[in-house]
Structure formats: C-alpha cells, structure tokens
C-alpha cells in the first residue's frame, strides 16, 4: 500500500490509502471497510455501557475491525477518572481476547497508562495517537513498548515552530505511524512532511511505515 492512515474520523475512500476509520459503538457505520472501534473516555455513558461493550465484543471478532480504539484516559474530561480507568481496563481485556492492537487517546495520564500496561501485562501493540509531547516522554513510552502516531500536531509544527519536529526526528524508525485524525489535510501531506523531517525520500518513508504496519497488524493487503 502507498499510504496507511492509523487514525481518522473521515472516510475518504482513496484506492491508494488504507484508512483506519475511528468508530464509536452507538454510531457504527457498516459501510466503512476498515476501522477501529472503542469507547472514548470523553463519551463514556454508564446508561449504555453494557450495550456498548456488547457491540465492541461483536465487532472486534470481525477481520475488518483492525484495532480497538480510540480509547484511553483523559484527566481533562468531566468523566470521573476512576470510571475511565475501569472502562479502559475492560476494553484492554477485549483487545487481549481478540488479539487486536489498541489506539490510545491519552491526556495528562501517561504515567497511569504505563502503569496499566505493566500491571495488566498487555501483550497486544499499544499505539498512542496524536503524540505531541516532549522527547523525554516519547522515550519513556517507547522504552515501555508503545508506538507513537503523529499527524495533526506535526502539520501544525510547520508554521508555529514547535519542538515536535525534533521529537519526531528522535523516534526510532520502527516505532512510529502516521495519521490525520480530524484535520483537512490528507495523509499524503503528513507523509511528505514526515519524510522531510526524517530526511528520507517518500518511497523510503512509505517502506518504513509499511513495515511498522506489518509489525502491528495481522491484516495484510
């Protein structure tokens, strides 16, 4: 494949792009060919948790469901943190059951995330989407077995001069993926900027991302 988009909320149906489209249990669209599905910490509804988990259980068993997520922890959410922890850990159990990687939303909760991975001995790949933090945290996550995905904030770094460029350059080539999330730019724009920052040709970058995809996902195109 030419391009892999780890996390997007917009299905663009381009033949050269494998898009992992984010889905929520109560808003499931069966027309999307490949997707991840999870309970986002901002949208936990205790009144429908059991029905949400029933849908997760059903969809994760299907080959077109490539990953669990996005799910995770967010200390800036109004959702009680203890409830977030409970729902997240229950979702990780499903990821283990179906041996599907996990696309993670994490805000101000990285130490808890690392602790949970260690305590539960999570064996499936865990991918922190939309990474935008400092190099020290990036190294700590990678040392603990996480993958990091870059997109929206990497594109933003072009104009505002953030240190994310140097952070991205520091990421080992076998530990990153790329995404668009909710930005208007296409995944091609993210690849072009990532290749520039890594001082690689586009084809070289595509080969790297394809290898990383194959490390993480069982589904082969």
Annotated binding site: 70, 105, 129, 181
Cβ-count burial of 85 within 10 angstroms (0-12 exposed, 13-18 middle, 19+ buried)? middle
- Give CB contacts under 8 A, 24+ apart, made by 114-120: 114/140, 114/141, 114/144, 116/85, 116/88, 116/89, 116/92, 117/144, 117/145, 117/146, 118/144, 120/89, 120/92
DSSP per residue over 81-134, as a string?
HHHHHHHHHHHHHHHHHHT--EEEEEES-HHHHHHHHHHHT--S-EEETT--S-
Cβ atoms of 7 and 129 closer than 8 Å: yes
Q: Please state the residue numbers annotated as binding site for a divalent metal cation.
A: 70, 105, 129, 181
Structure tokens, 18: 């494998």
Cβ atoms of 100 and 68 closer than 8 Å: yes
C-alpha dist (Å) from residue 119 to 54, 104, 217:
25, 17, 23
């Amino acid at each position: 494949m030419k391009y892999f988009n780890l996390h997007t909320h917009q299905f663009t149906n381009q033949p050269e792009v494998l898009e992992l489209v984010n889905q929520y249990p109560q808003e499931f669209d069966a027309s999307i060919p490949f997707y991840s599905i999870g309970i986002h910490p901002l949208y936990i509804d205790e009144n429908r948790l059991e029905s949400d988990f029933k849908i997760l259980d059903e969809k994760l068993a299907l080959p077109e469901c490539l990953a669990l997520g996005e799910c995770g922890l967010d200390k800036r959410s109004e959702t009680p943190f203890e409830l977030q922890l409970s729902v997240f850990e229950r979702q990780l159990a499903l990821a283990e059951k179906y041996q599907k990687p996990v696309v993670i939303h994490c805000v101000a909760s990285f130490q808890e995330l690392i602790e949970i991975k260690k305590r539960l001995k999570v064996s499936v790949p865990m991918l922190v989407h939309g990474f935008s933090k400092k190099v020290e945290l990036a190294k700590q996550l990678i040392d603990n077995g996480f993958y990091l995905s870059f997109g929206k904030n990497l594109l933003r770094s072009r104009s505002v001069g953030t240190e994310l460029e140097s952070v991205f350059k520091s990421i080992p080539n076998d530990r990153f993926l790329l995404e668009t999330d909710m930005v208007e730019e296409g995944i091609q724009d993210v690849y072009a900027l990532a290749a520039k920052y890594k001082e690689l040709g586009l084809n070289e970058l595509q080969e790297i991302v394809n290898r990383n995809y194959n490390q993480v996902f069982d589904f082969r195109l």
